[in-house]
């Protein structure tokens, strides 16, 4: 009887992690550009939406960048400081400059871009724009599209940001996600992760960011309830080597725009 009870836990803690690591070994790591638009009004949001839907995303698709995500903070419904997130997967950091160069030379893009590009200084499309460059984790080298069946307006996309007190402590948290097996728990519990990454350049460093996705809020809450009591997580989170490796965390709940690729 004892053997039957211990076998599943052994598989969870040792066999599954080794299999997942072997699958991702040697695969090139992607980069991601996460652009955050800060704005206040519906008129500003419409300009940004028109730009992304009518100009930028079609131009990116022509460049064979297919999985472009656009997400709006659920807090926008009541907050004066509203945010929109643009997620672009990249094969390399050089792609950032290559994309910008090709956009400037793209006549179709520039023709469809005028409302956004020609705003007046006293009537801007956004209050501030920030860019975060990310590099995929070694054991999650490429993004994955979520496998969800609910309507986009019902979905919950959860973006998490974990800061650490120093670069060394940050590497410890990255190790916890990768070799430590934290990501494997999310996969096993069907969190539908899109990406896991470390921040290469951004306003908050050292830092890692990742996104998980759910059918709705109830589905999200049920998944996190399962995570908190999971035997593998309880064991890992109690290990002395993984203590105090996050100094600050931010959780942003998002919903995908109607025209988002996922």
Please state whether the predicted TM-score (pTM) of the whole model is above 0.85: yes
User: Closest Cα partner for 185 from 212, 164, 160, 208?
Assistant: 212
Contacts of 111 (CB under 8 A, 6+ apart): none
Q: Is residue 219 part of a domain?
A: yes
Using 70 as the pLDDT threshold, list the residues of the chain that sit under it: 1-25
Q: What is the pLDDT of residues 4-50, one digit of tens each?
A: 444 444 444 445 455 445 455 678 999 999 999 999 999 999 999 99
Q: Is residue 243 part of a domain?
A: yes
Q: In this structure, what CATH number is given to the domain that contains residue 106? A: 3.30.70.100
H-helix segments, 11-144 = 16-24, 42-51, 57-62, 94-104, 107-111, 114-117
pLDDT of residue 26: 74
pLDDT of residue 18: 52
Structural domains in the chain (count)? 1
Q: Is residue 223 part of a domain?
A: yes
Domain that holds residue 242: 2-256
Give the span between the Cα atoms of 236 and 5, in whole angstroms.
19
pLDDT of residue 48: 98
Bridge partners for 113 per DSSP: none
């Amino acid at each position: 009887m004892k053997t039957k009870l211990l076998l599943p836990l052994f598989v969870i803690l040792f066999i599954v992690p080794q299999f997942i690591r072997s699958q991702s070994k040697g695969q090139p790591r992607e980069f991601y550009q996460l652009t955050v638009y800060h704005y206040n009004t519906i008129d500003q949001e419409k300009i940004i939406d028109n730009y992304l839907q009518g100009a930028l995303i079609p131009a990116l698709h022509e460049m064979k960048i297919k999985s472009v995500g656009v997400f709006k903070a659920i807090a926008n419904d009541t907050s004066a400081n509203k945010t929109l997130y643009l997620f672009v997967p990249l094969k390399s950091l050089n792609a950032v400059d290559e994309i910008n160069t090709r956009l400037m030379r793209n006549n179709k893009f520039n023709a469809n871009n005028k409302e956004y590009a020609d705003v007046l200084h006293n009537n801007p499309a956004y209050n501030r724009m920030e860019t975060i460059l990310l590099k995929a984790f070694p054991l999650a080298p490429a993004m994955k599209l979520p496998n969800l069946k609910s309507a986009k307006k019902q979905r919950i996309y959860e973006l998490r940001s974990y800061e650490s007190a120093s670069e060394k402590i940050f590497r410890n948290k990255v190790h916890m996600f990768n070799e430590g097996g934290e990501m494997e728990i999310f996969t096993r519990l069907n969190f539908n992760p899109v990406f896991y990454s470390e921040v290469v350049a951004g306003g908050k460093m050292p830092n890692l960011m990742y996104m998980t996705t759910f059918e709705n809020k109830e589905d999200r809450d049920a998944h996190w309830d399962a995570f908190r009591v999971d035997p593998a997580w309880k064991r890992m989170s109690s290990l002395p080597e993984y203590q105090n490796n996050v100094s600050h965390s931010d959780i942003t709940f998002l919903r995908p725009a109607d025209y988002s690729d996922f």
